[in-house]
Amino acid sequence: MKLKICGMNHNPEEVATLRPDFMGFIFWEPSSRYFVGEMPPLPSSIKKVGVFVDAPLEEVLEKTEQYQLNAVQLHGKESADYCAALRQSNSDIIKVFSIKYDFDFDVLKDYEAVCDYFLFDTKGRLPGGNGYTFDWSVLEKYPSDKPYFLSGGIGLDSKEKLKAFLNSPASKNCFAIDVNSKFETAPGLKNMEDLKIFIESLKSVRN
């Protein structure tokens, strides 16, 4: 099981010492975790993910080049055509879909051929980082073979629930766990001790 730590801002180099598989940097200006400035040097084993919300295509391509992003995560209402146009960036494309109690999986069909991963997050006031989980049992109906990220309010208090989910059929195509706000002492400042505990708890289910 892969791990993505998102909303990086104030201590990315410190978090990188924990060797997550992905680190997410938010390029949506209204976010309290909005990333600006120099990208710190990171180990080549860590994939850098740029998070965007309905940004102009040119902006995403520019940021991808500027920061040498390995993946682009789209948190808005980006169309399948938009995703297809992003193929020129040579970065993996992660399309986000928000869930609360139910979800119409038919909407995924148009994105199957133009995205590398899906990400399922909690529907809330913000595009992400709302701090609470959705009903993971919805994913029992997941009809695709495309790998997905599980996101939305996952924290230390989710350990048992997460273990049960990862041992259920619904997790068959779950590729990575995505954490953010539940591991912060302030927006964009990650709590290293809590992350270490969580990473230890994941080891038993990692591939």
Q: Give the pLDDT confidence of 97-155 residue by residue, as tens digits.
A: 999 888 999 999 999 999 999 999 987 555 545 556 888 999 999 999 999 999 988 99
Q: Which residue has the tokens 């020129």?
A: 88
| CA nearest to 72, candidates 27, 133, 21 | 27
CA torsion, points 151, 153, 155, 158, in degrees to nearest 10? -80
Note the pLDDT of residue 203: 83
Rounded to whole angstroms, the maximal C-alpha distance in the chain is 42
CA torsion, points 180, 171, 202, 20, in degrees to nearest 10? -50
SS3 state at 122: strand
Global pTM exceeds 0.85: yes
Note the pLDDT of residue 7: 95
Q: How does pLDDT run across 31-55, given as a tens digit for each residue?
A: 999 999 999 999 999 999 999 999 9
Are 178 and 170 spatial neighbours (Cβ–Cβ below 8 Å)?
no
Domains of the chain: 2-205 (3.20.20.70)
